[in-house]
Amino acid sequence: MAFRGARGGGGGGRGGSFRGAGGGRGAPRGGGRGGMPSRGGRGGGRGAPRGGRGAKPGRGGARGRGGAKVVLEPHRHPGVFIAKSKDHLLVTKNLVPGESVYGEKRITIEGGVDDTKIEYRVWNPFRSKLAAGVLGGMDDIFIAPGKKVLYLGAASGTSVSHVADIVGPEGVVYAVEFSPRSGRDLINMAKKRTNVIPIIEDARLPNKYRMLITTVDVIFADVAQPDQARIVVHNAQYFLKDGGHVVISIKASCIDSTVAPSTVFVQEVQRLREGKLKPIAQITLEPYERDHAMVTAQYQRHL
């Protein structure tokens, strides 16, 4: 599969903008980055908040603020949904109904088994790089129900909690965070989301937590360190199955602030290649994050 380079402007999508998240930190710049031809300029990504390609008809309904009808549509990424009313909101099915993790809005939809109600949590792309990647049009995030995910740079667990929602009770999220302060919040979140295994260790040293993790399907990385590519490759060598996938959020200024972001992205992609991670796709995370790219790759252990 040919590597698809950076695509511009992830704000809109083919069905309208994500209007429930507040203002952006930097306007969309359209053209692609990373030294690759851009497929942007169409108003945003194909994973946009109208449900994306292959979306099925909406199901169920609820009443939002002001009595507005809310209709749920599955996104093309399994385990991710769009709640459509006046605003189109990216949501995940709450693994622990009645509980919020970081004060996020919750929406109850009728239409479950025996007309039971199902609760969903709004997933804000301004607070989650992975959500920004979904709305930016990433073709595949490889995180789905039942998957085993290694999450590097878990912080306090904001995004991790949504990944836990996506993989569901049959999946597992190994969440690695080095900061003790953030780690406390992560541990508290995991007390109720029992498919999250919090690991308070340095992601640079996977040998220190190798006894806690089995082989995983996907690695998601948001560590914002100059040696991020090396960290990802090292963890892949320990834990990622052959043919498994990596999703990495790259913050250009954390790697090298002296050169253009496009140059940084090219260099990081090359480092992934050298580590037997074959790049698949790259997108910009604007307007949600400035000078960020998201890259997906497949691990080819015996390359």
Burial of 127 (0-12, 13-18, 19+ CB in 10 A): middle
Residue boundaries of the structural domains of the chain: 124-299
Cβ atoms within 10 Å, residue 116: 8
- From the options 3.40.50.170, 3.40.50.150, 3.40.50.300, 2.30.30.90, give the CATH code of 124-299: 3.40.50.150
Structure tokens at 19: 């209007």
CA separation for the pair 299, 271 (Å, rounded): 13
Burial of 96 (0-12, 13-18, 19+ CB in 10 A): middle
In the prediction, which pLDDT does 67 show? Answer: 43
Task: Evaluate the omega torsion of the peptide bond into residue 287 and state whether it is cis, within 30 degrees of 0.
Answer: yes
* 268 HSE (CA, 13 A, CB side): 35
Note the residue count of the chain: 303
In the prediction, which pLDDT does 169 show? Answer: 96
Q: What's this model's pTM, rounded to 2 decimal places?
A: 0.78
CA separation for the pair 25, 7 (Å, rounded): 18
How, if at all, do strands 240-251 and 216-221 pair? parallel
Angle at 154 between CA 274 and CA 128, to 5 degrees: 95
| Residue linked to tokens 């390609």 | 53
Q: Tens place of pLDDT for every residue, the chain, 303 residues?
A: 455 565 544 343 333 344 334 433 333 333 333 333 333 333 344 334 433 433 343 444 444 443 458 888 899 999 999 998 888 899 999 999 999 999 999 999 876 566 688 999 999 999 999 999 999 999 999 999 999 999 999 999 999 999 999 999 999 999 999 999 999 999 999 999 999 999 999 999 999 999 999 999 999 999 988 888 999 999 999 999 999 999 999 887 777 777 777 788 888 888 899 999 999 998 988 888 888 888 999 999 876
Concatenated DSSP letters of the chain? -PPB------S--TT----SS---SS----S--SSS-----SSS-TT-TT--TTPPPPEEEEE-GGG-EEEEEE-SSTTEEEEESSSEEEEEE-SSTT--SSS--EEEEE-SGGG-EEEEEE--TTT-HHHHHHHHT-S-----TT-EEEEES-TTSHHHHHHHHHH-TTSEEEEE---HHHHHHHHHHHTT-TTEEEE-S-TT-GGGSGGG---EEEEEE----TTHHHHHHHHHHHHEEEEEEEEEEEEHHHH-TTS-HHHHHHHHHHHHHHTTEEEEEEEE-TTTSTTEEEEEEEE-TT-
In the prediction, which pLDDT does 225 show? Answer: 85
In the prediction, which pLDDT does 43 show? Answer: 38
Structure tokens at 85: 């009313």
CA distances from residue 5 to 178, 283, 284 in whole angstroms, order as listed? 31, 7, 10
Structure tokens at 124: 């804000």
